[in-house]
């Protein structure tokens, strides 16, 4: 009887996972059996490329944050060598000069429409914000906008804007050193589960994402996607067990994709592989993926009991360990360096930092040896 009850709970978990993770229209639900770990266990469906790069996002919507000039020493104290920003501020770029820390920059969303039609403006941005610093600051990528793929006022201009920024980079022969891309929310997927059936929203799949990914492939640039297991867990509560979102160390929860045969023991892998399969659904070749944002909040609104300090520590520590074990690597940027108390919206938006505004750590996180 006990075994039957446990089996029913396991079955119910995966049925609810389908209903809650997937945002697609109804489809036939495959049968689930207790999966065995096969040769695909511990690997993504394809080689997402790159080394084990663990970086961090540097946002500045907080009061009393340290000045940009003091950020490199804080980054070094965390044994991190890669940082991603949400702007293209010369003061920040200059502060990372001769530090050995790589820098990913971002052109603001409101620049996209004009950049799409004005090559001169793109050249001006590169001339004023990149050329004076690239010899001493290790600039690796420029994101044209942030999470604009589903916003019509920007998405229709996005690829043209990226092309013009790339042309400007290439004019100064920096295109092999600095890649042009953009960051996406996982909301670009209309279907996420099972991962092997994932697809992009029809409204942008052919008109925006297909030419965008072709541009990235042509220029050897990564597809950058923000992946938040916490948000998927929260939106699907109580269907997804917390230990599945927190990289359950005992691996008691396992799911085998009925079509690909890949076994999953955590929500991160499920979400990440859905991006890879969605690209394949467009008939495109594999492309390196960078997780441009990922993390877990240390506090939230009343009732968000999973948003706490210990879960934030556990998630980020297990994420780091999980990434280092992977045979096929994926670079990630943890969100974020600081809590940002000036962010609007729900309380949880303000509590993703590894550090307080004074630079002290919120919790211990083992990032050594240096990445």
Residues of the chain with pLDDT below 70 are 1-51, 251, 368-371
Length of the chain: 371
User: Which pLDDT score, from 0 to 100, does residue 300 have?
Assistant: 93
User: Which pLDDT score, from 0 to 100, does residue 18 have?
Assistant: 46
User: Which pLDDT score, from 0 to 100, does residue 94 have?
Assistant: 97
User: Which pLDDT score, from 0 to 100, does residue 238 have?
Assistant: 78
Q: What is the pLDDT of residues 92-144, one digit of tens each?
A: 999 999 999 999 999 999 999 999 999 999 999 999 999 999 999 999 999 99
| C-alpha to C-alpha distance for 75 and 26, rounded to whole angstroms | 46
Q: What is the pLDDT of residues 221-246, one digit of tens each?
A: 999 999 999 999 998 877 888 999 99
Neighbours of 197 (CB within 10 A): 20
Q: Which residues pair with 355 in a beta bridge?
A: 338, 361
Q: What is the largest CA-CA distance in the chain?
A: 73
2-24+46-350: CATH homologous superfamily? Glycosidases (3.20.20.80)
For the annotated catalytic residues, the residue numbers are 147, 293
| C-alpha to C-alpha distance for 194 and 191, rounded to whole angstroms | 8
Q: At what angle do helices 152-171 and 119-129 cross, to 10 degrees?
A: 60
User: Which pLDDT score, from 0 to 100, does residue 236 have?
Assistant: 83
User: Which pLDDT score, from 0 to 100, does residue 51 have?
Assistant: 56
Angle at 348 between CA 342 and CA 353, to 5 degrees: 70
User: Which pLDDT score, from 0 to 100, does residue 237 have?
Assistant: 75
Q: Which residues pair with 107 in a beta bridge?
A: 144
Task: List the domain boundaries for the chain.
Answer: 2-24+46-350
């Amino acid at each position: 009887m006990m075994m039957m009850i446990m089996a029913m709970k396991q079955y119910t978990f995966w049925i609810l996972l389908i209903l809650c993770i997937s945002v697609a229209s109804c489809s036939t639900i495959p049968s689930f059996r207790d999966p065995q770990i096969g040769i695909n266990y511990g690997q993504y469906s394809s080689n997402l490329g790159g080394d084990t790069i663990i970086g961090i996002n540097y946002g500045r919507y907080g009061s009393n944050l340290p000045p940009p000039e003091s950020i490199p020493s804080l980054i070094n104290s965390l044994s991190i060598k890669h940082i991603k920003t949400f702007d293209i501020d010369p003061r920040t770029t200059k502060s990372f000069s001769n530090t050995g820390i790589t820098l990913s920059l971002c052109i603001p969303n409101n620049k996209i429409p004009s950049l799409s039609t004005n090559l001169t403006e793109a050249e001006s941005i590169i001339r004023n914000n990149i050329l004076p610093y690239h010899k001493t600051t290790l600039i690796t990528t420029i994101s044209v906008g942030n999470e604009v793929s589903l916003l019509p006022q920007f998405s229709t201009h996005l690829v043209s804007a990226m092309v013009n920024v790339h042309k400007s980079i290439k004019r100064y022969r920096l295109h092999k050193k600095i890649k042009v891309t953009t960051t996406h929310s996982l909301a670009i997927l209309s279907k996420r589960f099972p991962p092997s059936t994932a697809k992009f929203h029809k409204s942008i799949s052919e008109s925006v994402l297909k030419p965008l990914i072709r541009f990235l492939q042509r220029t050897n640039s990564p597809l950058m996607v923000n992946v938040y297991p916490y948000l998927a867990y929260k939106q699907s509560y109580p269907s997804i067990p917390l230990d599945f979102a927190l990289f359950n160390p005992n691996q008691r929860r396992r799911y085998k994709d009925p079509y690909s045969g890949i076994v999953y023991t955590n929500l991160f892998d499920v979400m990440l592989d859905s991006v890879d399969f969605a690209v394949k659904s467009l008939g495109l070749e594999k492309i390196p993926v960078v997780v441009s944002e990922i993390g877990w909040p240390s506090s939230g609104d009343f009732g968000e009991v999973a948003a706490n300090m210990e879960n934030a520590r556990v998630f980020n520590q297990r994420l780091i360990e999980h990434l280092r074990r992977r045979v096929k690597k994926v670079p990630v940027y943890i969100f974020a360096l600081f809590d940002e108390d000036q962010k609007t919206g729900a309380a949880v938006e303000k509590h993703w930092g590894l550090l307080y505004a004074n630079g002290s750590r919120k919790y211990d996180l083992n990032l050594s040896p240096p990445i």
